[in-house]
Structure 1
Amino acid sequence: MSRPGPVSRRSTKSEYIETDTGNKISRRAHIEGKQNIMLGGKSVVMAGVCLRGDLHRKSEKPAEGEKEGPTTAISVGRASVIATNCTIRPPMRLSRGQMTFYPMRIGDNVFIGPGTHVSSLSISSHVHIGANCVLSPFCVIKESCKILPHTVVPPHMVIPAGSVVAGRPAQIVGEVGEGWGQGGGAEGEEWVEGGDLRPLVRSIK
């Protein structure tokens, strides 16, 4: 009998690579500049996601004998989920004739829906972003916001905490209300929008 070839061995591989800190990264995600991306732990990067950690501000040349320190282009907090086919790229602007990139920070328990393009300066914790949204360069999303599907957030817009946002361009159409995002996190509980996303992370294999 012949031995099973490499095909059968490959088929046992799971969709996700799990890191020491519990992050789950799809083998079909496109990650550039891994050394410039920080994942806080228990976060998920799904198939088709493009993370552009290679787009970062070039630091000043280190003094003689000093090593150049790492640069963080994209920072993602704990228990955040970046769904399929999203593009995450740090915001940039032309400064003195050169393209300058600015670091992007995404908080804890942030859900970014499929097909969304993000160039925000920052997204605070407990934010739910629907599918096929565009978050333009330098916009800021504060805590506990809900961005409805197909929303286009203009450059430099600041969305206040607790807002519900929709439209192209985005407008505040309401508030999430008291109790939004409560629950989730415990073993056996289902995840809820704006809540603790650990149950969702655990369910992804």
Structure 2
Amino acid sequence: MEPAYTIYRKSEFIETDTGNKVSRRSLISGSQNIVLGGKTIVHSNCTIRGDLRRAGPTHQASVLIGRFCSLGEASVLRPPYKTYKGVFSYYPLKIGDHVEIGRNSIIEAASIGSYVRIGANCVIGRFTIIKDCCIIEDGTVVAPNSVIPSFSLLSAGPPAKISAQLPESIQDVIEAQSKDKYAKFVPV
């Protein structure tokens, strides 16, 4: 079953030289500290907090997002933080290629690998590491400091748990779906 075309008004999105499509109704704070890899869609009311970064002389991006990603409506991406020896610091949030984040999800992970699908209404706790080729179902809450192994299917429930092992072909499936979704996101 092929996904349908998603039609959007060209005036409501900014398209960058690298093919990123960013909604004018998204909230991008600290854009100089956010790196979009290319062909990423940032939907309306999505919040990306690039203004939250580690203080110091080295200039390091606080949010790094790979290619062919889709950041859902009203989702929030912000770098994780902690206090260590009395010093409050933010750490980078790194997201790989071909990652889909569902609507109304909150992400404070340290790292999300490539070929990952996060459902709607999910909460990914601070400093969580999600390895490559994972699917997280709608409504899942992942505890802070969790490490999700590659090829895991996480189901919702108190607490979230790995409910199945995904086949190795999931990488090809998610890559094809993310490229198709981008190709079928067309202006009027």
TM-score (ref. length: structure 2): 0.89
Q: What is the RMSD computed on CA atoms of the aligned residues?
A: 1.4
Q: Quick one: which amino acid aligns to residue 70 of structure 2?
A: V
Whether 1:16 aligns to 2:16 is no
Which residue does 2:175 correspond to in 1? 195
Q: Shift of residue 144 of structure 1?
A: 0.3
Whether 1:204 aligns to 2:181 is no
Partner Cα separation in structure 2 for residue 58 and residue 153 of structure 1: 28
TM-superposition CA deviations, 1:105-127 (whole Å, max 9, x none): 00000000000000000000000
Larger strand percent:
2
TM-superposition CA deviations, 1:47-75 (whole Å, max 9, x none): 00000000000113xxxxxxxx5320000
Where 1:143 maps in the other structure, the secondary structure is coil
TM-superposition CA deviations, 1:102-152 (whole Å, max 9, x none): 001000000000000000000000001100000000000001000000000
- Superposition pairs for residues 47-196 of structure 1, below 5 Å? 47-60=44-57, 70-166=59-155, 167-183=157-173, 194-196=174-176
Partner Cα separation in structure 1 for residue 85 and residue 168 of structure 2: 46
Q: Which has the larger radius of gyration?
A: 1
Where 2:133 maps in the other structure, the secondary structure is coil
RCO (CA 8 Å, sep 6+): is it higher in 1 or 2?
2
Q: Shift of residue 175 of structure 1?
A: 1.3
Q: Quick one: which amino acid aligns to residue 46 of structure 1?
A: H
Matched residues, number? 176
Whether 1:39 aligns to 2:36 is yes
**Aligned residues: percent identity?**
40
Q: Quick one: which amino acid aligns to residue 32 of structure 1?
A: S
Partner Cα separation in structure 2 for residue 95 and residue 153 of structure 1: 23
Q: Shift of residue 22 of structure 1?
A: 0.4
Where 1:195 maps in the other structure, the secondary structure is helix
Q: Quick one: which amino acid aligns to residue 202 of structure 1?
A: A
Where 1:59 maps in the other structure, the secondary structure is coil
Where 2:104 maps in the other structure, the secondary structure is coil
Partner Cα separation in structure 1 for residue 25 and residue 139 of structure 2: 24
Q: Quick one: which amino acid aligns to residue 203 of structure 1?
A: K
Which residue does 1:189 correspond to in 2? none
Check whether the contact 2:151–2:168 (CA below 8 A) recurs between aligned residues.
Answer: no
TM-score (ref. length: structure 1): 0.82
Check whether the contact 1:35–1:70 (CA below 8 A) recurs between aligned residues.
Answer: no
Partner Cα separation in structure 2 for residue 83 and residue 144 of structure 1: 19
